[in-house]
Copies of this chain bind each other. A is one copy, B any other.
Amino acid sequence: MTVARHPPYRVGDVAAAVVDAAETLVIVWGSAEQAVQPQVSPAQLRVLLVVDRYGSMNLNALADELGAIPPSASRLCDRLVAAGLLTRQPSELNRREVTLRLSRDGRGLLAELAGSRRRAFERILSEMAPADRTSLLTGLQRFGGAAAQKRTSRDRSA
């Protein structure tokens, strides 16, 4: 049986090439984390990013988001509170819950991280032709869109 091959080459070949080409971007992305002050561990940084996204949350919700279990999350919070980056207060509604929030310094650290990451990309993008920058941005946006669609269809079937 002969079937027309629609794309100029198989998607699998493109995927291999994209994986290969994406490595530099992933490295640049990760390197920004080492530039923030004060230095926090990757695990602690994840806590700050999750709490920032939620605004405020309790410990079990944090553990869920981290894919961890409550005792691990609790210890991480211990150290972040000691470092002054996070606040942990008894909930006003339910006295067995705690409310986690970023401190002013915690928000500052994330702002520093975002700036550091943006500058790292800017240094490299400034060396590229404008059309290539546009290609990259559009490609990444479409990739994100396709991934979101994939997630949605998977969620529907579950």
Contact = CB atoms under 8 A, between A and B. Distances in A.
Interface of A: 6-8, 11-12, 14-19, 21-26, 28-29, 114, 117-119, 121-130, 132-144, 146-150
Contacts of A8: 130
Contact of A128 (B6, B125, B142): B142
A123 B136 contact: no
A28 B118 CA distance: 20
Contacts of A21: 137, 140-141, 143-144
Contacts of A130: 6-8
B125 A14 contact: yes
Given A11-B126, A125-B15, A25 B24 contact: no
A157 B41 CA distance: 32
Q: Which of A15, A29, A136, A147 has the most CB of B within 10 A?
A: A136
Nearest 10 Cβ contacts at the A-B interface: A136-B139, A21-B140, A15-B122, A135-B139, A127-B146, A24-B144, A132-B142, A15-B121, A135-B135, A21-B141
